[in-house]
Structure 1
Amino acid sequence: MQTSWEVIFYRTPAVSVIQTLIKEAKRFGIAPWWEVDDLIFDLELYGQNSNLLSLSKAEQESLLEGAQLYRECLQLCGRGIASTRVLGEIMQRAGIKDVCIIENAFDGETLKIADQLLGAGKSPRKNDDIVIVYGSGTRTHDQDFVECAAGLAAAMDAEPRLVLQIIGELTLPDEFQRFGSRVEYLEGRDYAGYMAVLAAADIAIAPLEPSIFNDAKSNIKFLEAAILQLPAVCSPSDTFRVVVEDNKNGFLAKDETGWRDTLLALARDEALRERIGRQARQDVLLRYRPEAIAQQQVATQFPSPERRKTDRLRVMAVNIFFKPRSFGGATLVAEEMATHLSALETDVAVFTSYEQIPELFSSSLRYEIEGMPVVGSPLSTHIDPIAGLDNPRCTAQFISWVKAFRPDVVHFHSIQGLGLGMLQACLEEGVPFVVTLHDAWWLCERQFMVKPNGRYCFQRHIDLKVCGACLPGAMHLKVRQDMMLSMLKEASLLLAPSESHRALYLANGFAPELVKVNRNGFSWPKVAHKPHQPKTPLRFGFVGGQEAVKGFPLVREVFEGLESADWELVLIDNTLNLGFASMDVSGWKVKGRITIQPAYGDATRDAFFNSIDVLLFPSQWMESYGLTVREALARDVWVISTAPGGQAEDIVDGVNGNLIPLDGRPEPLKTAVEGILARPDMLDSYVNPMKADLPKFRGQAEELKQFLQSVVH
C-alpha cells in the first residue's frame, strides 16, 4: 500500500488486522475498495439461500456470522466492486454509494488449459453415449439441481443415450435411481482435471434456484463450458441472461418442459451442439478475456494514473536520513532543500531510511513531513561499507516509489547504505538524476579522505595504491571505484557545495560542465546574538562529534593543556538524538568547565550559539562546505577553523575568525585559543562585518531548482 494508487480488499472480513490495514490505506489518502463475487455480506438475503439447509447447524451459524463481518468490512471501505449487476445493487442497498461492476474474467491459466484440451480433441468413445456434465463441487447445490431434475430425468427417459456425470458432491432426487449406471459420480479434482472432464462431455448444465442470492452469482459455469466449445443449458438467472442468447450461444431453461426439450434437442443434433459451442467460445472470448475485461471494464473505473498536466516541477529527494530521524549536516541541507523547493511551487517526495521496526519486518514505511510524502527503507545504523554499495531490497522499494510518484528528476544527497542500485534504476526508468556531492564518499571508502591515524591523506587525484596502504587487505577498491565513477558519470549534473569541493571532483576526471557549485544555505538567526559579557569566562563550542576527522582529539589535547581556567567548553553529541551517547569527558583533566548537549535543531539552534562566543572547527580534511561555520558566522560568533577547504571559504583571517593549517598538529589550535583567551574583550561587542555575503537556503533552493529544471527532458 505504501506506493499504490488504489487498495482493494477482496472478500475480507472486518477482523482486527484488516481494520488496521483499512485505516492505513485511509492514512495514505487512499479510499479503499471492498470486492466480492458472491452474496456473502447481507445476512437476511444470505439466510434465504436454501442450499444452506444441506449444511449442519454449526456450519450455517458460522457462515451467517461471517456475513456480518463481511458487511462491516464493506462499510468500513466505503466503496464496492461487484462481479454482477444484482450484487452491485445489494451493495448500494447497504449504503455504499460508490459501486462499480467488474465481471469475473478468464485467467491466463484457464485459457491455456482450454486451448490444450481443444487441441487434443475428444477421445473416441466405445459407445454412442451423450454425456451431460454437472460440476457440483460442494454439497451446497442440492436445491439448485432440483430446478433441472424433473426435465433432465424426462430427457433421460426419452433418450437412452443420455448419461449424467456429476463432479463433486450432490444428493440426487430418488427418481434418478432408476437410471443406474447412467449416472456417474466423479470425485472432486484439481482445476485442470475438472476442465478435462468438461471437455470430454457433450453438454453442460448450470441449474440455479430462482432467488436474489443466485441472481447475484457470476456466470462462471457458462464461461467454463463455453471456452471449451461445450454447449450449456442454464437457468434464466440474471447473470446468465446477461451473456446467454437462447439458441445462439447457449440455452435458458426455466421449467421442466424447457429443460427436457432443450436437452433432447442437443442430444439428437450433433451439428447443433457444435454450432452452439463454437458461438459460445467466440462470444466469451470477445467479452471475458483478461485483456477485454481490463480494457472494457477495469480501465473505465481505474484508468491509468496519468500525471496531471502541470507546470510544477516534480522532484524526488533521496538522503540516508530525514526528519524525524535527522542526523548530520548533509541531512539538514537535504531537509531544507526539500522544504524550500516545496515553497517554490515544486512537488517534492522523499526517499530515505528508517530504523528497523520489528513489526514491519522489511517493509518500507510511508509517512508525511510538512506536506511532503516520505518513504523510508529499513536500515541499520551500522552500515557495512562494502555491502552498503548495493541494497537490492532498498532499490526495489525505491523503484516502487519512483513509479508511484513519477518524478521529473531525482536528486540524490548522501546515500551510504541505500545502495547504488537506485541510480541504475533511474537510468532504466528513464528519469534524469542529479547528485549533490556532500563529501568524498564517492571517491574514498573512508568518506572523508582521512587515514586511520586521523590525518588527512591530501590526495587530489585518487591513487588506489595510496588507498590500498590506508586500507590494507581491501580487495574491492578497484571495483568500488569503477562502480562509483561509472554511476556518477551517468548523472545529468553533479553539484558541489563549494569551489574547493568542486575542484576535488574535477581533479578526478569529471568534466567542468558536469560539476556545478550550489553553495549550501543555512538557518539564519531568528534572534540577535548575545555578545560576550565582560569579566565572564569565554565560551567555546564544538559540534563535530568525537571523530578524529573532525578534530575532537585535538580539542581535548588543547584544552587539557590550557593553564587558564577562565573558559567554558560546550560539546555537542549528535548521537544523543539517536538514543545513545558517544562522548565521555569524565577522564579529561582540565581547569575550565565542560558541558555536553544534544544536537540542536530549529528550535534550539539560536540558543546554542547564544551560549558560545567562539566556534571551534579544527576539521582534519578539506570539508566540502562547513555548515556549522556559516551558522556561527551569521550569528556573530568568532570561528577558529582549519584551511584550506570549503569550511574556510567565508572566513577572512583576523576579521571574522582564525585560520589554522590543516596539518593535524594541536599547536596551531592551541595558539589561536590562547590568543583569544588573552584578549577576551575583542569579542565583547564583536559583529561579523562580512555576513551579508553568506548564502541563504532560499537562494540555494532557487538556484537548485534551476539546475534541476535544466536536466528535465
Structure 2
Amino acid sequence: MFDHGVPPLPYVHPWAQPFEDRFTALRRAGTRVAYYYHEPDNSTFRYRCYNMAQAVNALLPGVSAAHFVQEDGSALDRVVDAADIFVVCRARYTDRLNRLITRARGLGRRVIYDIDDLVFDTRFTHQVLKTLDQEPSEAAMDHWFAYFGRLGATMRLCDRVTVTNQQLAARVEEFAACPTRVIPNFMNREQLEVSERVFNAKRASGFRSSGPVLLGYFSGTPTHNRDFGLIAPTLARLLDSDERLGIRLVGFLDEFGPLARHRARISHAPLQDFVNLQRLIGEVELNLVPLQDNAFTNCKSNLKYFEAGVTGTVTVASTTIPYCDAIEDGRNAFLARTQAWEETLSRALAALDEYACIAERACEHSLAHYGWQAQAGALEAALLAPCLPPTSRKDAHGPH
C-alpha cells in the first residue's frame, strides 16, 4: 500500500452552475459549441460534456463551449439559437429533443451525436444484458430494447457522430451511415491536479510502500459482478499463498464469492467522487481491470488504465482492444488473457522491483494521450471541420 499523504479532499460538483452563467460562457467567443445531456452525473456527462467543454475553452482559439441539461427547459431554445454546433450526448429520443434538433438544423447549425457505448443497435441488446449480469426478463427486455432504440433514433437525426474509439466508430458507421470521429475519453483539470499530488508524493518516496500489497478493483456502476467474477477465484488462490496481499474494493459489488474466506484482508469503500477516487487508486500497487471480451466491451473506453496511470499505479487489464491499444505489456502496464490472470498477476507481483519504472512510463503515456491538454487535434477535427461562419447565426440575447 502506498501512503502518499494526500488527505480526503472537499468536493463540490464543478459543473453546478446557474444557467445564465453557462449561457454567458457559451456566447464568449465567435464559434460556439453547446453540449447537451439529460442530467449531470459523474460518468457520461462528466467525460462527454463537462470535460469536453473545459478542454474546448482552453485549447481552441476563438471557440467557446458550455454544457446544458434537460432541466434547463425552455431556455434550451436560446441555447440552440446561440450555438453554432449542438452536441447531443447519449440522449434518448423525445419529442422535445426532436424539436430542438429540428430547430438547430433549420437554422443551419451542425448537430453532432456523441455516444460512449454500444447501446444504440438493438442487435446487441442481449449481449449487453448478459455482460451487465442483467436477467433477460420481459420487463428488462422492454426497458433495454426501448433504451437502445431511442438512442439510435436520436443518433440518426444528427449530421455526424463522435465516439470514444475506433471499434465504436465502425459500429456507428455501419448502423447510421454517417461521418464519425473519435474523441477519446480524457481527464479534466481537477482530476489531473490531485493525481499530480499523489504521483509526486509517490515518486519522492521512491515508490516505497508499507503494509499489504494492495490489489485494487474500482467499480463505477452496480453492473460489474460478472467482470469481477472472472478473477475472484484467482485472487482467492493468490491470497491463500501470499500473505503480503490485500484487496481494495471501491464502489459497487454485491458479493465476494470465493474471496469471502479472506474477508478480513479486504477493505471496501463506497463509490467516490471523481477527485477522491484518484487518491484511492493511488494507494494500491495493482489496479485490476477484468473484462469479458465481446463487441460491447471492445467498444468501451480504456479509462481505467489512464486514470490509474497518472497516479503512478500500475494496471493489469484484460486483453480487450482498447486496453491492448494503450498497454505495452510489461512496460507501462500488464495484459491478461482470460485464462491467464493468475500467471499475469504473478508476473506483475514479481516485477515489483521494477515498479517505479513501469509507473513512470504509465504516467507519461497517460498524460500524453489522455490528459485534457492533448486533445486539441481531436476536438478540432470532430467539431470544426468544416464549421459554419459565425455570421450565419442569429444571435440570442434573451428568451424567445
TM-score, structure 1 normalization: 0.42
Structure index of larger Rg: 1
What pairs up with 1:194-205 in 2 under 5 angstroms? 194-205=277-288
Counterparts of residues 251-290 of structure 1 (less than 5 Å): 251-256=334-339, 258-290=340-372
> What are the superposed Cα offsets for residues 453-477 of structure 1, whole Å, 9 maximum, x if unpaired?
xxxxxxxxxxxxxxxxxxxxxxxxx
Aligned ranges 1:183-332 → 2 under 5 Å: 183-256=266-339, 258-295=340-377, 297-303=378-384
Give, in angstroms, the shift of residue 183 of structure 1: 2.2
Contact 2:213 2:246 in 1 (8 A): yes
Matches within 5 A, 1:408-423: none
Which of 163, 171, 182 is the equivalent residue of 1:101?
182
Taking the aligned partners of 2:208 and 2:399, their CA distance within structure 1 comes to: 65
Superposition deviation, residue 374 in structure 1: 4.4
Partners of 2:109 and 2:388 within 8 A in 1: no
Shift of residue 84, structure 1, vs aligned partner:
1.3
Partners of 1:280 and 1:10 lie apart in 2 by 30
Given the alignment of the two structures, is residue 38 of structure 1 paired with residue 117 of structure 2, yes or no? yes
Aligned partners of 1:162 and 1:267 also within 8 Å: no
Q: Which amino acid aligns with 1:166?
A: L
1:111 and 2:111 aligned:
no
Deviation for aligned residue 1:264: 2.1
Q: Does 1:87 align with 2:168?
A: yes
The SS at the match of 2:214 is strand
> Any idea what SS the aligned residue of 2:216 has?
strand
User: Identity over the aligned pairs, expressed in percent?
Assistant: 22
Say if 2:133 and 2:224, in contact at 8 Å, map to a contact too. Answer: no
| Residue 21 in structure 1 maps to residue 103 in structure 2 | no
For residues 33 and 126 of structure 1, the distance between their equivalents in structure 2, rounded to whole angstroms, comes to: 47
- Alpha-carbon distance in structure 1 between the residues aligned to 2:88 and 2:388: 25
Deviation digits for residues 88-143 of structure 1 (CA, Å, limit 9, x no counterpart): 11111213221111111111111011012224449999964100000113321011
Q: 1:55 to 1:170 in 2, by over 3 A?
A: farther
Q: Distance in 2 between matches of 1:115 and 1:125?
A: 17
Aligned-partner SS, 2:224: helix
Give how far 1:230 is off. Answer: 0.6
- Cα distance in 2 for residues equivalent to 1:216 and 1:306: 28
CA displacement, residues 136-182 of structure 1 (integer Å, 9 cap, x when unaligned): 13321011122223333333233221111111222445321222312
Q: Which residue of 1 aligns with 2:40?
A: none
| More moved, 15-24 vs 263-272 | 263-272
Structure 2: runs of 5 or more not aligned: 1-79
Q: Return closer, same or farther for 1:129/1:376 CA change in 2, 3 Å cut-off.
A: closer
Query: Residue 263 of structure 2: which of 177, 180, 183 is its match?
Result: 180
Aligned CA distance change for structure 1 residues 302 and 379 (closer, same or farther; 3 Å): closer
CA distance in 2, matches of 1:374, 1:227: 43
Counting matched residue pairs gives 317
CA 1:110–1:46 in structure 2 vs 1: closer, same or farther (change >3 Å)?
farther
SS at match of 2:280: helix
Secondary structure of the equivalent of 2:157? helix
Matched, 1:53 2:133: yes
Q: Structure 2 CA distance, aligned partners of 1:225 and 1:209?
A: 20
Residue 306 of structure 1 deviates from its aligned partner by: 8.2
Kindly provide the amino acid, as one letter, of the partner of residue 120 in structure 2: F
The 5 A counterparts of 1:574-653 are none
Farther off after superposition, 73-82 or 152-161: 152-161
1:82/1:101 contact within 8 Å kept: yes
1:9 partner letter? V
What SS class does the counterpart of residue 200 from structure 1 fall into? Answer: coil
AA in 1 matched with 2:133: L
2:103 corresponds to which letter in structure 1?
E
Would the alpha carbon gap of residues 156 and 3 (structure 1) be closer, same or farther in structure 2, given more than 3 Å must change? same
> Structure 1 residues 54 and 163 mapped into 2: Cα distance closer, same or farther (>3 Å)?
farther
C-alpha change, 1:374 and 1:22, in structure 2 (3 Å) is: closer
Secondary structure of the corresponding residue to residue 140 of structure 1: coil
Q: Paired residue for 1:165?
A: 248
Distance 2:319 2:183 in 1: 21
